[in-house]
Chains A and B, each alone.
Chain A
Amino acid sequence: MSDRVEQLLRSALVPIEPPEALSDRLERGLSGLTEVAAAELADWELSAMRDPRNWGRPVAAIVVGSVAAGGLVLVRARQQHKKRNATGLQALEKSIRGVADDIEKRLKR
């Protein structure tokens, strides 16, 4: 009977085509991840420049921003952060994490 069961399993567990709307949404979401990350970081960089307390951050922000333009904001920022081991970058990492969380929330909807 095993052969028969396997045959029935093949008939029962057929691949399910994802709805077209999901494909569209995912494609938009994944490409949007790149754009939103880049835009958010650009905004943050500009506002940060107005505050003298943040003048020490732009170099790091540019490094992280260019990476974020590609989309892997959080992962790479953490890597950079670890490499430099600079406590002054903690605030920057926190900001980036906020941006990443925000992007994720947007993408969920």
Chain B
Amino acid sequence: MAATADKEQLDRDFTELYRAHLRDVYSYAYYRVGNHHDAEDLTEQTFLQAYRHFERAQRESDGRPLRPWLIRIAHNLAANFYRDRSRRPMTQLEDASVLHEPHGTEQLVEEREEVKEVLEGVSKLPDDRREALIMRFALGMDNREIARTLGRSEGATKVLIHRAIKQLEDSLKEDPGE
């Protein structure tokens, strides 16, 4: 009886985790693989794997947020995805919502072009830098969370993000409007 009650609580906790972070996992997956179809598969696999190991993760988390653990699962699955299918990360996103917003002014058109260039620049960054930027900007993770996800120190993560932004900035200067 006690085991059943524990299990029910575990399931409730997992449901809560799932509802809180479905968008995070999907966003991460989408920016990693670049299309909705594969992002859906990756998201599904992430939650199934998380479910299998949830009890242990919860026990070992000591009350810390489980988002880094969840994104790490997605990160590992995405790595397998590329390895198994001999793919490289997509350079073109199928459709980022920001690129499809209706526009009415020249300024908006110009900004959308810049955003497109930024996305292309991000896709050309080394894997770890690209991922750090996705976590920071698409998921809103802080340095501590990103560090836990990537298995690095907070200091190293801060440097990683700084260098990623610098590299992106340099590439935009080199190829303005390419």
Contact = CB atoms under 8 A, between A and B. Distances in A.
Given A72-B52, A75-B52, A16 B97 contact: yes
A26 B43 contact: yes
B51 A71 contact: yes
A75 B55 contact: yes
Interface stretch (A4-12, A54-62, A87-95): A4-12
A23 to B, nearest CB: 6
Give the interface size bracket for A toward B. 35 or more
Q: Is the interface of B mostly helix, strand, loop or mixed?
A: helix
Contact of B44 (A1, A66, A108): A108
B163 to A, nearest CB: 12
Contact of B4 (A19, A22, A70, A104): A70
Interface of A: 1-2, 5-6, 8-19, 22-23, 25-26, 29-30, 33-34, 66-67, 69-72, 74-75, 104, 107-108
Given A18-B40, A19-B36, A70-B10, 19 more contacts: A1-B169, A5-B165, A9-B137, A9-B168, A11-B115, A13-B119, A13-B122, A16-B138, A22-B26, A22-B43, A26-B22, A26-B44, A29-B44, A30-B14, A34-B11, A69-B7, A72-B10, A75-B56, A107-B48
Interface of B: 3-4, 7-8, 10-11, 14-15, 18, 22-24, 26-27, 30-31, 36, 39-40, 43-44, 47-48, 51-56, 96-98, 111, 114-116, 118-119, 122, 133-134, 136-140, 165-166, 168-169, 172-173
